[in-house]
A and B are shown apart, each in its own frame.
Chain A
Amino acid sequence: MKSPKVWTAMTAGAVVLSLGLSACGGGDDGDGEGGSAATKFDAGSNGIVNPSDKKGGVLRMGMSDDFDSTDPGDTYYAFGNNFVRLYSRTLMTYTSKPGADSNKPSPDLAEAAGVPSDGNKTWTFKLKKGLKYEDGSEIKAEHIKYAVARTYDRGVLSHGPAYFPQLLDAGDYKGPYKNKNLDDFKGIETPDDYTVVFKLKDPFPEFNELVTFSGQTAPVPPDKDKGAQYRLHPLSSGPYKWEGDYQPKKGGVLVRNENWDASTDPNRKALPDRIEITAGLEANEVDNRLLNGQLHVDLPGSGVQDAARQKILTDPKLKANADNPYAGFHWYVPISTVNIPNVECRKAIVYAADRDAMWRAYGGDVGGERSTSIQPPIIAGRQKGTDLYTSTAAGYKGDVNKAKEALQACGQPNGFSTTMVYRSDRPKEKAVAEALEQSLGKAGIKLTLKGYPAGTYTAEQFGSPSFVKKEKIGLGTYGWAADWPTGYGYLQAISDGKAIVPAGNSNPSELDDPEINKMWNDVVKLDDAAQREAIYNQIDQKIREKAAILPNVYAKSLLYRPQTLANVYFHAGFGMYDYANLGVTG
């Protein structure tokens, strides 16, 4: 028997081959129709491809996996938050525009952005009047309060973000499933049916951004809540509603919600009449169907598989239908401040790293860009910064001499040994680990590589401080994307000492630096976004000064848009196409 690796390679090869054949038949027919000018590679990254206001048609979306949840209060994935906009309106939502503007919060159920008072500790939102659910009943302030209250029960709604329980001043409120009396939930006040007032424990200046990024302020009428089963048919407040129930791991169908009023909603064009979702497709099958037009959208929005990628990049016709935007992820390498406490030793690692090989591991230009700052380019106010202990110059292979000097300063002139972990089922991360093993070895830093399955890696291995300590893990591959595109949204969870948790820890460096912690404490008191951004950039710089993170690559994804897909543009807030504004032609 051949090894699984060989078979995988053979399969990939065969699929590439077949895609080549399919291209001959499938590629041409779109050119004549649609009326729009011929599209260019990456045209959707900064502008609208195939702009359209034409209603009608069936939009088909597919994915190889499934949503974490279709309950707007219980999804965390960016594509989930993007998708629930089709049937859920929230207090605020992202602006639906191509380019950098899409990062900005825009009122949705609210008339205007939330107004802070009490030194950013109280946030008040006024609702538009006359908004309705799919059943014709009216959307009320209390329903939003209830929706937020639900997110307190992490047993029933375990997937979604947990910002509200952390920020709101609600004592030890346990959620509406354990305590049926909503009046006991003091974190939100609803003085009337159209006013929602959030009461925070501490000042939090980016509350509008927080409310924008997730579906957790989508209203839920308490008498319609089905707890854990609400996800099967969340009551629609948006342009579409579920036809029947969503079937987890299989899919479902969205049809128009006649009770949605387009005039109140500038952010959703809602062009197709019907949207069909298929979950659980084999990953290459998703690409195949995308390339032959059977599917319009690969829901997770993280780009095509290797087989299709090769095909698209080598065929100009296909390539013209692809975009290569920043995906929002930064693939970097956290260095454990616990197992390598001496900053000089950490610096030695950064000095010795072969950035060229690490970048190539992600596929070169199409895979991403060599990174300087920790924050990726789509973060508002992010500064590119300058290279610290490393270089983004093309072909930079690391600096062994500087690394040895740092080792000297660290008191380990002969180098040291440590363990590097990576996700064994991600060949790119494995290649990064191997590149580092090579280049660090030249400076005398001996790496032992260990791979773990992606399914448990961030929860149980690299994401578990006790595991990291026990296994003496010095560094590992990692990737991070912001919950919302500000410096806070990106950096806080990976650099604030408070963010360190026993499992699923997103700060694997375990950076718990008094200076940085203080900056996090203080920055939330600043009202001015520009001032805050300046601090974020300082924190970014500090993380690198402390050599807690070795930067690598700002990820770029390769997204394919079939020619029958209209009104397509990359949305920086979600890091993929804007699903609420897609249309179909033909």
Chain B
Amino acid sequence: MIAFIVRRLLSAVVLMFIITAVTFGIFFLVPKAAGVSEDDLAARFAGKSPTPEALAQVKERLSLDEPLPVQYGRFVKAIVAGDSYDTGVSEVECSAPCLGYSFRTSTPVLDEILDRAPVTLSLAVGAAVIWVIVGVSIGVLSALRRGSLFDRAAMAVALAGVSLPVFFTGLLSLAFIVHAWGLLPSVDYKPLTQDPAAWASSLILPWITLAFLYAAMYARLTRAGMLETMNEDYIRTARAKGLPERTVVTKHGLRAALTPLLTIFGLDFGLLVGGAVLTERAFSLKGLGQLSLDGVIQSDLPVVLGVVLFAALFVVLANLVVDVLYGVVDPRVRHS
């Protein structure tokens, strides 16, 4: 098991370098292919009507005048060995793992990420709790009462949930539930450590909105998985033993039906922790998704790279946890 985890972690590191290299490449090469020059890139950082001298200074400061491999090399080196950044007056230490320094906000990227991660994490965890409970319950009930009115209604709602964009449902719920009806307070994130009640009440709407999307997805997946599992030979065996139907469903059916969901959950959750861009945007939550969106809009490469790396780390970690859990749940995996 240990060897397995180590192996997975190592491949995760390799994977993350590939991801950053690709992000790096996309960031520089794609605009270049589209005809964007270094001057143009620098102009995004300079004010109105920048002079050529001003552009030259920006390019120098952002290292845009260096070859790509050198820039990437520095990025990697900073992660491993740390780096320092010149504010003009002094050097700002950025100790390893240094994810770079945002020229937009003059802050080390890691600080920004760590500052915002709790928001996204709060959003993701809360929503996940809701969507797993709601989605799985509905999926199981639907499967057991396949074809019933409940099943058909639930699946119709689920279809809506899957196909409505969260930005739309988000703005809509905000407009009605908060602003028109005043049922919930405005979404103003308060840290959990400061005021748990305020934390929960400010996040409840984003949770529900985000959970709606996923619950719909999970209800459909659970239903499909449950229907498939309940047709398995071992379910027939369980019945042949004379087990009560409840035991058959919960002990034999549900456990097997939910196991594949674990993988999907790991991936979904990992991706979400990397930033729920649309939900954060809709609810003005200052999380990682918003950070990366700003990074992209403002061409703030270090921020984009940092969030991508962080998100990748979380996806990889979530998958690792899932794999370990899988081993616990499914003995076949453990022994292979």
Contact = CB atoms under 8 A, between A and B. Distances in A.
A229 B92 contact: yes
A503 B47 contact: no
A505 B40 CA distance: 10
A226 B48 contact: no
A393 interface: no
B294 interface: yes
Nearest to B58: A158
Contact of B50 (A292, A466, A504): A504
A153 interface: yes
B306 to A, nearest CB: 14
Interface in B283-309: 283-284, 286, 290-291, 294, 297-299
A25 B283 CA distance: 22
A11 B167 contact: yes
B172 A158 contact: no
A132 interface: no
Interface in B237-281: 281
A396 interface: no
A22 interface: yes
A497 to B, nearest CB: 13
A154 B39 contact: no
A506 B186 contact: no
Contact of B47 (A7, A17, A160, A466): A160
A348 to B, nearest CB: 29
A159 B106 contact: no
B50 A155 contact: no
Contacts of A535: none
Q: For chain A, give the interface size range.
A: 35 or more
B232 interface: no
A506 B48 contact: yes
A32 interface: no
A159 B46 contact: yes
A282 interface: yes
Contacts of A250: 286
Given A7-B165, A10-B168, A280-B284, A227 B90 contact: yes
Interface centre among A11, A17, A154, A226 (most CB of B within 10 A): A154
Contact of A249 (B44, B171, B294): B294
B237 to A, nearest CB: 43
A15 interface: yes
A467 B37 CA distance: 10
Given A166-B51, A249-B294, A456-B44, A14 B58 contact: no
A161 B51 CA distance: 11
B73 interface: no
A7 B61 CA distance: 41
B42 interface: yes
Given A7-B165, A249-B105, A288-B175, A467 B57 contact: no
Interface string A138-165: 0000000000001001111011111001
A284 B170 CA distance: 12
B73 to A, nearest CB: 21
Contacts of B182: 25
Interface in A274-319: 280-282, 284-285, 288-289, 291-292, 294
A14 B175 CA distance: 8
Given A155-B60, A162-B47, A506-B48, A460 B36 contact: yes
A499 B48 CA distance: 11
Nearest to A505: B49
Contacts of A476: none
A281 B284 contact: yes
Nearest to B49: A506
Given A18-B176, A21-B176, A22-B180, A460 B171 contact: no
B331 interface: no
Nearest to A62: B284
Nearest to B295: A249
A162 B175 contact: no
Contacts of B107: 248
B176 A467 contact: no
Interface string B57-90: 1101100000000000000000000000011111
A155 B43 contact: no
Contacts of B42: 503
A463 B47 contact: no
Contacts of A154: 46, 50, 53-55, 57-58
A490 B86 CA distance: 36
Contacts of A237: none
Contacts of A463: 43
A156 B52 contact: no
3 A-B pairs closest in CB distance = A227-B88, A18-B175, A155-B61
Given A14-B175, A282-B171, A292-B179, 14 more contacts: A10-B168, A14-B171, A19-B180, A21-B181, A154-B53, A155-B57, A155-B58, A176-B88, A227-B86, A229-B92, A463-B43, A501-B49, A502-B39, A503-B39
20 contacts: A22-B179, A154-B46, A154-B55, A156-B61, A158-B47, A158-B50, A159-B46, A162-B47, A166-B51, A226-B87, A227-B89, A228-B88, A230-B89, A248-B105, A249-B291, A285-B284, A288-B174, A501-B50, A503-B40, A504-B43
